Chains A and B, each alone.
Chain A
Amino acid sequence: MANSFTRMMSGRNTAVMLASMGAGTLASGYLLSDNAAAAEKRRLYPPSADFPDLRKHNNCMASALTPTIYGQLRDKTTPNNWTLDQCIQTGVDNPGHPFIKTVGMVAGDEESYEVFGEIFDPVIKDRHNGYDPRTMKHPTDLDASKITSGMFDERFVLSSRVRTGRSIRGLSLPPACSRSERREVERVVVTALSGLKGDLAGRYYSLGEMSDREQQQLIDEHFLFDKPVSPLLTAAGMARDWPDARGIWHNNEKNFLIWINEEDHTRVISMEKGGNMKRVFERFCRGLKQVENLILERGWEFMWNERLGYILTCPSNLGTGLRAGVHIRLPLLSRDHRFKKMLDNLRLQKRGTGGVDTAATGDTVDISNLDRLGKSEVELVQLVIDGVNYLIECEKRLEKGQDIKIPPPIPQFRK
């Protein structure tokens, strides 16, 4: 019996095929003037009438968008009929902060990065330190066996964590997805996760259906995510229909966790207390590969291509989408005036232990990689390991009253 799923499967297969063909071969449409009113509206309001006022804005989109680019792209659509205005709405609505440069645009689907490449490419280049999607290739490497020295001194490192995101090819991304598509993402991923075994065996908790007790448990474990309140996310439409088709999966050992339909189709997190980053990354890679195999068996795959790596909603997470980090106590070094420069040169970033928008409290800081695109997962995790080991060495030297050196800057892209 041809059911709706079968119909959708064939549609998805076509989308998968088209998407894998790469840049330039995707069918991008122009807005169909399927009625006279739309055509009349375009005549009355040329792109210049709609060009956003970005004079007080400070985000990557506002820096890159010109009236010319807008004029060329305004009436285009992706095959799912997603538009430029929808991609940039979050950047128009959130001028940004004088000190923090946000990205200011999102993708609605995989094809957004192609159809609106004229604006996405410069934004990607700006955000990813000169990575040029038009000429460069992104390396993917999830072979954890290559990692060396991945066990930190636990006198300093309290916990280790690696996270990334994955999108299911053929389904629209959180800003754009319909309720069916979101539910389909949930179904595909939850089905795959139920196939995990051994130390990865676990359970799914749907946000809308969890009991109060389950909710409290997940909050206590710091696993639970809630409806986004950041205007950066809500302006992009990611919170629509909350909490429909959102949920959290974690393994019984509570060190492998997947968020479904929050900012991305999936966010995958491997974490544990202590300093065994190698084990965290090994489980991360193993889990990711197994999930990928499980969805491939059913005819699905992750969004990925050679020039952008793994495709995620926000351009800032392209490539690896990977943030590998530690919570670490560096009471002396974190107060040293050379700390910031060391981090910069090591391509590391510090955050408060509450996450991206928090300040450090006490001596404990969250240290992670700055980069996402242009270096492989193995390279980035190794960079974090080597960098954190260096910081620990400096802390030990300061403990003994010895001098420390700022390391030379790490080159940004493979030659």
Chain B
Amino acid sequence: MPFGNTHNEMKLKFTSEQEYPDLSKHNNHMAKVLTPAMYEGLRSKQTPSGFTLDDVIQTGIDNPGHPFIMTVGCVAGDEETYEVFKELLDPVIEDRHGGYKPSDKHKTDLNPDNLKGGDDLDPNYVLSSRVRTGRSVRGFCLPPHCSRGERRAVEKLSIEALASLSGDLNGKYYALKNMTDAEQQQLIDDHFLFDKPVSPLLLASGMGRDWPDARGIWHNDNKTFLVWVNEEDHLRVISMQKGGNMKEVFNRFCTGLTKIETLFKERGHAFMWNEHLGYVLTCPSNLGTGLRAGVHVKLPNMSKHAKFEDVLKRLRLQKRGTGGVDTAAVGGVFDISNADRLGFSEVELVQMMVDGIKLLIEMEKKLEKGQSIDDLIPAQK
């Protein structure tokens, strides 16, 4: 909750043992890492804006998780959370991001010229291409913790910065609370509109507070570049288009992001970033690049193949249904994207995805002809 630590002082009157959460039925990264000793050592701390350990872990306590899916179970309330509570967050990050160590450095590369190929994904298979990431504005608390005043300030800054974009990036902002029914329907039809989170993972962390105050959507006139303001993160930036020209999508992504970053800097606000964690976002799962680059691709044969999951794992790719993270695939069409976020640069992740999709399509074509794909199985990346 905003404006200083309003409650932790009271809790400190009780012993750590009395306060320690019951995590016996839990299966998330936070529950795996937290110990009574760690809790005792961290419970009296707070970030300068008053975010406390209990604030970090509440969502993980309230959402024990699923036996098969490992959720993160903790969030940041501000940039300093990752520093003040590093004893908890470093092992969570290491576990979630494939062994990323506290001493590791993350490389940022948003130069689209470094991407090789990617403009030629076979449109008979690839229906659409998309790249998304998130950005946090330094100096403001993150969605779990921000006050209404801060959230509005982030919105105001975003509107000003985005209004300065021009050419291919010329666009318009739609505040969630002011949009007309016609605008709302259009945004739904374009698959642009986001709604109040319903996932208990998000609500338990406080991200849904004051909805829809200071939330909105900006998109360019061409409907290929989209920014969400104050949803799960301060900003979510999305570049997308139909077809398989991922290079063009990534080009626009990098150009747009770089322009937006400059516009924010001109107004005295950098994005949250550091050498170790890259771009800092609300959920530890999105640190580093915060990047998910993916395609909607038809793989009816490949997806039925016994080695499909294994191939994806080797390519460091992840499959989802075309409705997003919690959906199943329909009609053999999958959403395939990079599995990693941290420890690889943006270019590296998009390259891996592009190369991986090319290989999967090759395999699909072979299976169509009744041929074997055994000689195409890749090594683990």
- Give A contacts to B, CB under 8 Å: 4, 7-8, 11, 31-35, 37-38, 41-42, 44-45, 49-53, 56, 75, 77, 80-83, 85-86, 89, 92-93, 172, 176, 178-181, 183, 208, 234-235, 239-242, 244
Known A50-B149, A178-B14; further 20 A-B contacts with Cβ < 8 A: A4-B15, A8-B13, A33-B4, A34-B4, A34-B5, A37-B48, A41-B2, A41-B49, A41-B147, A49-B149, A56-B177, A80-B10, A81-B5, A89-B209, A93-B209, A172-B10, A178-B10, A179-B19, A180-B15, A241-B22
Contact B6 A81 (CB under 8 A): yes
> Is B265 among interface residues, defined by CB-CB distance under 8 A?
no
**B51-75 interface bits toward A, Cβ cutoff 8 Å, 1 = contact, 0 = none:** 0001000100110000000000000
Residues of chain B lying within 8 A (CB to CB) of residue A52: 148, 210, 213
Most buried by B among A31, A34, A178, A208: A178
Most buried by A among B49, B148, B177: B148
Nearest A-chain residue to B214, judged by Cβ: A53
Interface pairs A-B: 6 shortest CB-CB: A49-B149, A45-B149, A180-B14, A38-B4, A37-B48, A180-B18
Contact A11 B19 (CB under 8 A): no
Known: A4-B18, A45-B150, A239-B62. A180 touches B11 (CB 8 A): yes
**Cross-interface CB contact of B203 among A56, A172, A234, cutoff 8 Å:** A234
**Cross-interface CB contact of A93 among B18, B19, B49, B210, cutoff 8 Å:** B210
> Is B194 among interface residues, defined by CB-CB distance under 8 A?
no
Contact B1 A85 (CB under 8 A): yes
Known: A4-B15, A50-B149. A244 touches B22 (CB 8 A): yes
Contact B210 A92 (CB under 8 A): yes
Interface range on chain B (Cβ under 8 Å from partner) = 35 or more
> Is B190 among interface residues, defined by CB-CB distance under 8 A?
no
Classify the secondary structure of B's interface with A: loop
A-B contact pairs, 14 of them (CB 8 A): A34-B4, A37-B48, A49-B148, A51-B148, A82-B6, A85-B1, A92-B210, A93-B208, A178-B14, A178-B19, A178-B54, A179-B21, A208-B22, A241-B62
Give the number of residue pairs across the A-B interface with Cβ within 8 Å: 112
> Is B308 among interface residues, defined by CB-CB distance under 8 A?
no
**Cross-interface CB contact of A86 among B6, B19, B20, B61, cutoff 8 Å:** B6
Residues of chain A lying within 8 A (CB to CB) of residue B153: 45, 49
> Is B152 among interface residues, defined by CB-CB distance under 8 A?
yes
Give min CB distance, B149 to chain A, whole Å: 3
| C-alpha spacing A274/B127, complex, angstroms | 66
Known: A82-B7, A180-B14. A242 touches B62 (CB 8 A): yes
Nearest B-chain residue to A41, judged by Cβ: B3
Nearest A-chain residue to B2, judged by Cβ: A85
Residues of chain B lying within 8 A (CB to CB) of residue A56: 177
Known: A38-B50, A86-B1, A93-B209. A53 touches B6 (CB 8 A): no
> Is B9 among interface residues, defined by CB-CB distance under 8 A?
yes
Most buried by B among A52, A85, A92: A85
Within 8 A of A (CB), among B156-208: 177, 203-204, 208
Contact A241 B21 (CB under 8 A): yes
| C-alpha spacing A44/B3, complex, angstroms | 11
Nearest B-chain residue to A83, judged by Cβ: B6
Residues of chain B lying within 8 A (CB to CB) of residue A7: 13
Residues of chain A lying within 8 A (CB to CB) of residue B4: 31-35, 38, 41
Give min CB distance, B205 to chain A, whole Å: 11
**B1-42 interface bits toward A, Cβ cutoff 8 Å, 1 = contact, 0 = none:** 111111101110111001111100000000000000000000
Contact B148 A38 (CB under 8 A): no
Known: A53-B177, A81-B6, A178-B10. A92 touches B48 (CB 8 A): no
**Cross-interface CB contact of B13 among A11, A34, A41, cutoff 8 Å:** A11
Nearest B-chain residue to A208, judged by Cβ: B22
| C-alpha spacing A374/B228, complex, angstroms | 49
Give min CB distance, A42 to chain B, whole Å: 7
Residues of chain A lying within 8 A (CB to CB) of residue B18: 4, 179-180, 183
Contact A49 B152 (CB under 8 A): yes
Known: A11-B13, A53-B177, A234-B203. A38 touches B209 (CB 8 A): no
**Cross-interface CB contact of B147 among A35, A45, A181, cutoff 8 Å:** A45
Residues of chain A lying within 8 A (CB to CB) of residue B11: 178, 180
